[in-house]
Structures are given as structure tokens and as C-alpha cells.
A and B are shown apart, each in its own frame.
Chain A
Amino acid sequence: MSISDSLQAAPVSAVAGAAESPSGPRLDRARFSWASIPLLLPAIGLLIALFVGPVIYSFYLGFTNLELIGPTSQHYSLTGLTNLTRLIHDAVFQKSLYLTAFFVLGSAVIGATLVGLILAMAMQNALGAARAIVGGMVIVCFVLPPVVVALAWYAAATSHGAYTALFADPKGDFLAAAPMIVVSAANAWNLTGLAMILFAAALRNIPGEILESARMENASAVQRFFRITLPLLRPTLVTTILLMTLLALANFTVVYIMTAGGPGTSTMILPVYSYQQAFQFDNLGYGALVGDAMVILATVLSFVYVRLSRGRGDR
């Protein structure tokens, strides 16, 4: 027997002095470890119980005749498509959809994003003092709690308030005269700070050399903005618009405290309408259905936002 034969015949571990071959699972591939379960359980458990579960429950409730008080608060039942039919024919709901679209587009997309971009661009070329004061102030506007925003704007936009004196008859009620505009302006005022921060960060990432070479090629400021800055800002623009939209869609406090949906139904955006139906008119089931419409809208927007922001980052 040659040495090679004996080596081939015997297992490695039988060779004198050799170490035990390692047993157990492979370590070169990522594998699921049981330690993940207790780490994930609190978060996933809470989210399912108090977030995902209620959304599903809300879809169920939307098709019942549940009321806040009265006989059907205890013994409610599925009512089939009655609520849905009511929703389709509900003029206030349709108005609410238009108002929500106006509110979101006006205050978030146009208002906050545009003003944020203008401020971010202006801050690049301004004096340090102006930058600190105005920038700091706009950020404070973003940071204030919603109730305080509502309060300050209510005072400023009703009779004898500061904005009323500037934009309308000082003794009149600016808020009652142009409710959607005032409420949208309040929301834009609130959100602009965030847009400004996002755009300022994005503008800092634009290499100075590109703009400098454009300047040397005698490109005007307008040309530089539209041909260079804006295309480079496009990803940030898209994600900021979507973020503002989601934040505006979620706005309940500012509108509810300033107008409670009124006068009449002039500012009845979807969250306020849902709350009114559920807790003021006691139609919990119908209020849930209005909420379901919001879920669908918000989910679609959320999905688009996440896709776009992650797609941008995974480069």
C-alpha cells in the first residue's frame, strides 16, 4: 500500500494529529437565526396589533351600521353596500375630495415646496445674518406644535389679526372670507421649513465646478437654474413633493382647530370629514368608510414615495 492510497482510504480525522472536522451548518451564507425572533417580535407585534389590524378592521367597519351611541353601538351588523352607495352619492364627500386635492396641491406641492426651494436658493447667496435669522425663523415655524400653529394663524387671520389687516378688510374675517386659502397658507407656512432644509442639503451636493464652468460659458442665472440646477435637483424635488403631500394629507389638527371644517363645509378635508361623521354625527361605520378612502389614497402615495426614494438611494 502506498502512502497516497492510505491517505485516500482513511478519513481526514483518522490521520494522527489532525483536528476534528467542523460540524454544523455552513457559515459562509447568511442564514436565519432564531435570535431574530425576540428582536423583531415587539415591533412586528405592536404594528400588527395596533396598526395593520385596525386598518383591516376599519375596512370591515366601513360596511356596518355601527354608531357611536344608541342601539347599534352594541349590536351592529354588516349592512352590505349601503354605506358605499351613500358614499358614492354623498355630495359632501365629493366636495371633500376636491378640497383635499386643493389643500394638498396648494399647500404642499405648490406652497411649501416652491417657497422652500426659493428660500434654499436665496440662502446660498445671502448674507450670513439674513440666512441665520430667516432660516432659523422658518424652521421654528416648522417645529411648532400643530395646536400652536392653528392658534397663531387663527389669531392672525380673523378680525383685527395681522394677516387680515395685510390682505383683507381689517375689521372683517379673512378666515371666513377665504377659508381654503387661509388654511392652505397656514399648512404651507408650517411645512416650508422642512422643504427648505431638504433643498438646502441637496443644493450643497451640487458640485460648484459645474455652475462655475457654466458661468464661464456666459450662461445667465436663469439658464444656469433651468438647465443645470433643476435637473440635478429632480430626485430631491420628487421626494420632497411626495413627503409634503403625505404630511398635508395627514393634517387634521390645524384645519380642525381653525375652522372645524367650516364655514359650512368649505374646508371639510377628508380627515376632518371622517372625524365629523364618526364622532360628531355618531356614524362610526360611515366615518370608517371615509377613512378607508383616505387609506387607499395615502397607501398609493406612500408606495410611490418609498419606491422613488429607495430607488434613488440604491445606486
Chain B
Amino acid sequence: MAVTELPAGGEIAFEMPPDTAAIKPPRVTPTRVFSNLTLVFFGVLFLAPLIWLLFSAVDSQASQTLEWPHLTFSNFTRAASAANIAAMKNSALISVIATAVATIPATLGGYAFSRHHIPLKGPLLLGILMLAGVPMSILIVPIYQVFAGHNWLALIPASVFLGVTSLPFELWIVKNFIDAVPVDLEESARLERAGTWQILTRIVVPLALPGIGAAAIFGFINAWGNFLVPLVLIVDPTQQPSPVAMYGFFGGNVIRWGEIAAYSIMYSVPVLILYLALGRLFRGGFVLSGAIRG
């Protein structure tokens, strides 16, 4: 037992602990072991289809069995055939149109819902958010009927419809984001006699860009991955996007798994990149430094 000595003589009445190094919590506890094991267990369970995709894409003798690949890139070169690339271009076109159709009205409407006084705003917002939960499959029959009657069973009308299905949720995202932007900047702009359009383009949109970007990415990913709408609403095979093209590979007598896997990966890469961008947007937020005094 160490006893400290006071310079002025005499000893203090209590005893110091034997060693005063920091007490670290044990590294290996039952909870941590269990947690890691649980993660590994589920990880392995979830892994199979993903690994199969990766392996088959580079396997010259790809099949359904999960086996070590005979490495080759020929699947990718064959998957990048003219027809498949055309399908991906259609996918891109559909997604861009749908995103524009969804995001621009969502931004304008979200700003109005956030900043302006609108009669019945509460019920209106509730109604719009409820629309976001309505599945697309129920709209497909009446829309088909209407579009067929006007000879609109083609890529552009289908893209517009696809955009509208993302519109409710995008409006909600933008509105919530603009809610979080302080009103002071707009108020001072009003005092400087700025018109609504000027306020929108010069102040609100640049500040709300992360939220608008998140909404746009959401809409794009929805449109890129959508299968039912192009299946029903586009009759011309040359205008079909990638999901429908991939479904076509399924029907053949001999399913070339390697090619399908390679094409799937090529088709999924944009979505993965966009989700990474989305994560960065949410974590980044926005900076107002200096714009608001006090």
C-alpha cells in the first residue's frame, strides 16, 4: 500500500489505490462475441446471391451453382451488345425524364408548402403523403386504358407517368428540407424587394440543393429500377429499358447465366453510385456561415 508523503510532514489519512493507471473495460465480453457472431451469421446468409452475381459475371462456364469462377471478361463484352446498350440508353432516358417531371414540380410545390400560407395545408399534405404509399400496380390498368386511347403507349408518356409516381414522396422530402432552412435570408431578400422567382432561384434552391438532390436521386433510382411500367406502357421492343430486356433473357431455352449476371452488374452500378452520393448529401448538410448575423 503506497502512502503519499506530504511535503509538510505527516501522512494523509486514506490510502491511494495500488496503481492509478486508467481502468480499461475488457475487450472480449460475451456481448461483443455474440454480436460479432450474429453479424457473421447473417452476413453469410445474405451473401450467397451477391457472391453468385459477382462470380458468374466473370465465369466463362457460369451456371446456377455457386462455384469458383474460370476468370474471364468475355461475359461483359458479350453483355455489352448493341441491343443491351440500347436498352440501357432507354433506361437512362426514361429515368432522366421521370426525374425531371418529378423533381421540378416537387421543388416548386415543396417551397410553397413550406413557406406560403395555403388553405387546408394540413389535409393536403396528408393526402399527398398518403399517395406515396399507394402501389403502382393499381394505377397501371386505368393509365393503360387512357394512354392506349390516345396512342401514348411509348417511352415519353410512360416516363412522365413514372415521374408522377415518385412526385408525392419527393415533394415531402423537399418540403421537409426547406422547413429546416432559416427563413431570415428570404425575409431580408423580400425587404430588398426581391420577387418570388428571384428568391427561389437565387436563395432557396442553392440552399436546399442537398434536399432537392436527395429527392432527385430517389426519383431517379425508382425510375431506373422500375419494371412494371415499361412492361405495360411501352409496346415497342426497341424502346424498352434494361429491366424488360433482362426479363427477356430469362425466357430463352438456354439461359446464359454469365451474361445475365454481367449485365445485371452493369445495370446496378449507376444505382450504387447514386446511393453513395445520397449518403454523402445527407451527411453533408449545408453551411450558412456568415449569412445570418447573430
Contacts and interface: CB of A to CB of B under 8 A. Distances in A.
A146 B113 CA distance: 33
A189 B112 contact: no
A238 interface: no
Interface in A1-42: 30-33, 35-36, 38-40, 42
A307 to B, nearest CB: 8
B271 A115 contact: no
B129 A306 contact: yes
A235 to B, nearest CB: 17
A119 to B, nearest CB: 6
Given A148-B264, A295-B134, A298-B138, 10 more contacts: A40-B113, A46-B164, A118-B42, A122-B35, A152-B50, A154-B250, A159-B64, A275-B232, A291-B141, A295-B138
27 contacts: A31-B117, A33-B117, A35-B116, A36-B116, A36-B118, A42-B108, A43-B167, A46-B163, A50-B164, A51-B168, A57-B142, A58-B142, A118-B42, A121-B35, A122-B35, A123-B35, A134-B40, A151-B261, A156-B52, A160-B64, A165-B65, A166-B48, A252-B227, A256-B228, A278-B141, A291-B140, A292-B138
Interface in B260-292: 260-261, 264, 267-268, 271-272, 275
A7 B136 CA distance: 71
A51 B140 CA distance: 10
Interface of A: 30-33, 35-36, 38-40, 42-44, 46-47, 50-52, 54-55, 57-58, 61, 66, 115, 118-119, 121-127, 130-131, 133-134, 137-141, 143-149, 151-156, 158-163, 165-166, 189, 192, 221, 246, 249-250, 252-253, 256-257, 270-271, 274-275, 278-279, 284, 287-288, 291-292, 294-295, 298-299, 301-303, 305-306, 310
Contacts of B71: none
B229 to A, nearest CB: 10
A131 B50 CA distance: 18
Nearest to A288: B141
Contacts of B7: none
Q: Is the interface of A mostly helix, strand, loop or mixed?
A: helix
Contacts of A166: 48
Interface of B: 31-32, 34-36, 38-40, 42-43, 46-53, 56, 63-66, 101, 104-106, 108-109, 111-113, 116-119, 126, 128-146, 160-161, 163-165, 167-168, 171, 196, 221, 224-228, 232, 242-243, 246-247, 250, 257, 260-261, 264, 267-268, 271-272, 275
